[in-house]
């Protein structure tokens, strides 16, 4: 038997940036995301191997993180036979979006279905959270909320049922030679910032405001809150007591200046950034092409993509 699942990646509008339990991956704050139609991982799982085998885009691949995750699934769900896991990533490396959200969501969905378990998305989100926190949100289409919770059972994501709206994301990839600080390490450092407790507090208020903005289809407000939340997250990295750092490059700063300029011209454009230098610009479908052409004119080497709101996990059968 084989089972194929497709999960789309998501961009956090209210970020997850800190763990209160690193083993269970319980976050210090709840988070809200938008699932992206254009970027996804398609994973096929089959039970015909003598040891777990991983293939990404047809190439053998070794990942301790995925092996550990499969072992965690065996401990939690009961033992199962070795698996071949073949993933195709349609998250262009050029887009600067992490593929771990879509990868761990698709893997969790494909493995559990292959085992004949019909788990609901909340249960799946709890399992996927253990592989990558942001993956908990990728089971749902459009807007999702991951409740921080206080234990394994209470930390899960669910859909934020919202009206349809023409939201879009312009993804601007800047090239960098900087050594990457992984998200777990980045969170560990950020938590040592003297501003961390304030960030956690502000995040709770921003989460409430974001839910209201989403229900009102107010893209300007969604963007305003998301930008404030993301920039404050990146300030934590700079003000960390332990190994301060930044993901920003000169290009990142230039793009942020251009985004502010475009806003002054009347375009809807708000920036958000994750664990890297790439800037994602929250806008409307009508303004996205204008933003792309302005950025491209100012910075001809930028790689730009437009993404729109996408669906939750789906299966081939």
CA 138 to chain CA centroid, Å, is 8
Cα distance from N-terminal residue to C-terminal residue, the chain: 12
Binding mask 60-99 for ligand PMV (x = CB under 6 A): --------------------------------------x-
6 versus 203: smaller Cβ distance to ligand PMV: 203
189-to-133, 138, 222, 240, 246 alpha-carbon distances in Å: 17, 26, 28, 6, 11
Interface residue with ligand PMV among 18, 96, 133, 312 (CB under 6 A) is 133
Binding to ligand PMV in span 263-292, by CB under 6 A = 274-275
38 versus 274: smaller Cβ distance to ligand PMV: 274
91 versus 275: smaller Cβ distance to ligand PMV: 275
Least distance from C-beta 233 to ligand PMV, angstroms? 7
175-to-96, 172, 244, 247, 250 alpha-carbon distances in Å: 9, 10, 22, 12, 10
Interface residue with ligand PMV among 28, 134, 237, 309 (CB under 6 A) is 134
Least distance from C-beta 132 to ligand PMV, angstroms? 4
Q: How far apart, in whole angstroms, are the C-alpha atoms of residue 309 and residue 218?
A: 15
Query: Is 183 a residue that touches ligand PMV (CB under 6 A)?
Result: yes
Query: Is 12 a residue that touches ligand PMV (CB under 6 A)?
Result: yes
CA 130 to chain CA centroid, Å, is 14
Stretch that binds ligand PMV, among 9-17, 149-157, 248-256, 291-299 (CB under 6 A): 9-17
> Beta strands of 15-98 (E only): which ranges?
19-21, 26-27, 31-46, 53-56, 59-60, 84-90
* Dihedral angle over CA of 126, 127, 129, 130, nearest 10: 130
Which helix H or strand E contains 221, and what residues bound it?
Answer: helix 219-239
Least distance from C-beta 259 to ligand PMV, angstroms? 18
Please work out, in degrees rounded to the nearest 5, the angle formed at the alpha carbon of residue 193 by the alpha carbons of 187 and 196.
Answer: 75
Task: Report whether 226 contacts 272 (CB < 8 A).
Answer: yes
Query: Is 4 a residue that touches ligand PMV (CB under 6 A)?
Result: no
16 versus 287: smaller Cβ distance to ligand PMV: 16
Stretch that binds ligand PMV, among 14-22, 64-72, 118-126, 197-205 (CB under 6 A): 14-22
Please work out, in degrees rounded to the nearest 5, the angle formed at the alpha carbon of residue 302 by the alpha carbons of 281 and 238.
Answer: 60
54 versus 128: smaller Cβ distance to ligand PMV: 128
- For residue 5, the cross-strand partners are 43, 315
Binding to ligand PMV in span 226-255, by CB under 6 A = none
Least distance from C-beta 266 to ligand PMV, angstroms? 29
Binding mask 93-112 for ligand PMV (x = CB under 6 A): -----x-x------------
Interface residue with ligand PMV among 16, 39, 143, 270 (CB under 6 A) is 16
Size of the site for ligand PMV (CB under 6 A): 13
Which helix H or strand E contains 270, and what residues bound it?
Answer: strand 270-272
Q: How far apart, in whole angstroms, are the C-alpha atoms of residue 143 and residue 249?
A: 29
3 versus 9: smaller Cβ distance to ligand PMV: 9
Residue 80 DSSP class: -
Contacts with ligand PMV, residue ranges (CB under 6 A) = 12, 15-17, 31, 98, 100, 132-134, 183, 274-275
């Amino acid at each position: 038997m084989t089972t194929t699942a497709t999960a789309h990646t998501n961009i956090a509008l209210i970020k997850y940036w800190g763990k209160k339990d690193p083993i269970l991956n319980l976050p210090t704050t709840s988070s809200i995301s938008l699932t992206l139609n254009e970027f996804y991982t398609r994973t096929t799982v089959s039970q015909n191997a003598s040891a777990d085998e991983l293939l990404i885009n047809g190439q053998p691949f070794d990942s301790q993180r995925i092996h550990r995750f499969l072992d965690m699934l065996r401990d939690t769900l009961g033992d199962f036979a070795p698996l071949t896991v073949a993933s195709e990533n349609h998250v262009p490396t050029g887009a600067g979006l992490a593929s771990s959200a879509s990868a761990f969501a698709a893997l969790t969905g494909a493995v559990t279905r292959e085992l004949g378990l019909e788990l609901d998305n909340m249960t799946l989100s709890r399992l996927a959270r253990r592989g990558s926190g942001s993956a908990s949100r990728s089971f749902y289409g459009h807007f999702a909320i991951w409740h921080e919770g206080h234990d394994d059972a209470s930390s899960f994501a669910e859909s934020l049922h919202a009206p349809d709206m023409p939201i879009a994301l312009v993804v601007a990839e800047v090239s960098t030679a900087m050594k990457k600080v992984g998200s777990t390490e980045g969170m560990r450092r950020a938590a040592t910032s003297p501003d961390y407790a304030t960030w956690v507090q502000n995040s709770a208020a921003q989460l409430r405001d974001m839910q209201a903005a989403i229900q009102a289809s107010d893209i300007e407000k969604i963007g305003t809150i998301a930008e404030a939340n993301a920039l404050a997250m990146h300030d934590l990295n700079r003000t960390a007591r332990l190994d301060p750092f930044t993901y920003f490059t000169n290009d990142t700063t230039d793009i942020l200046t251009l985004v502010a300029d475009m806003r002054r011209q009347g375009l809807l454009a708000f920036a958000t950034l994750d664990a890297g230098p790439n800037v994602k610009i929250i806008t409307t479908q009508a303004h996205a092409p204008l933003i792309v052409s302005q950025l491209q004119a100012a910075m001809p080497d930028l790689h730009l993509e437009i993404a729109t709101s996408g669906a939750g996990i789906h299966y081939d059968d």
